[in-house]
């Protein structure tokens, strides 16, 4: 779960830049928050077990990221093509594609609009 400061901008980032879909959206008017689950839909229509929960607390407009959170990691088929698409959409790539230190797996890092780090890991060679 990620707490976000601007829900619509965050939805745009995860759906347009990362190619996810909105899988579920619920609002709780009593406690003044909205939950939006974004992810990659399962081909067979099964529940979204690989989703990110975006939490928007209506009365909070800024968060501290803290030092306990590291990053989200997402597998991608072609890291160079993915980063090229992200750049074309003006996404913030903070580490260009390249091998992980001490290994051969190709990774890159991007940052979302709230400052959360997302590691992209190439899953095919």
Structural domain span for residue 32: 2-57
Cα-based angle 64, 11, 22 (whole degrees, multiple of 5): 125
Q: Catalytic pick from 8, 24, 96, 119?
A: 119
Query: Has 8 been annotated as catalytic?
Result: no
Q: Write the pLDDT tens digit of every residue in 115-124.
A: 999 999 998 7
Q: Write the pLDDT tens digit of every residue in 21-61.
A: 999 899 999 999 999 999 988 777 666 567 898 999 999 98
Within this chain, do residues 15 and 44 fall inside the same structural domain, yes or no? yes
* Strand-strand pairing, 2-3 and 117-122: unpaired
Q: What is the DSSP track for 49-87? A: SSEEEEEEETT-------SS---EEEEES-HHHHHHHHH
Within a 13 Å sphere around the CA of 99, how many CA atoms are in the beta-carbon half?
A: 5
Within this chain, do residues 40 and 80 fall inside the same structural domain, yes or no? no
Number of domains in the chain: 2
Residue 86 falls within a domain, yes or no? yes
């Amino acid at each position: 779960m990620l707490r976000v400061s601007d829900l619509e901008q965050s939805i745009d980032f995860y759906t347009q830049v990362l190619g996810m879909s909105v899988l579920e959206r619920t609002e709780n008017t009593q406690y003044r928050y909205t939950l939006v689950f974004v992810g990659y839909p399962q081909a067979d229509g099964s529940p979204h077990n690989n989703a990110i929960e975006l939490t928007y607390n209506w009365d909070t407009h800024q968060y501290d990221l803290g030092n306990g959170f590291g990053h989200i990691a997402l597998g991608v088929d072609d890291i160079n093509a993915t980063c090229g698409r992200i750049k074309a959409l003006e996404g913030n790539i903070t580490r260009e594609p390249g091998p992980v230190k001490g290994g051969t797996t190709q990774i890159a890092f991007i940052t979302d609009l709230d400052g959360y780090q997302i590691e992209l890991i190439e899953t095919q060679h």
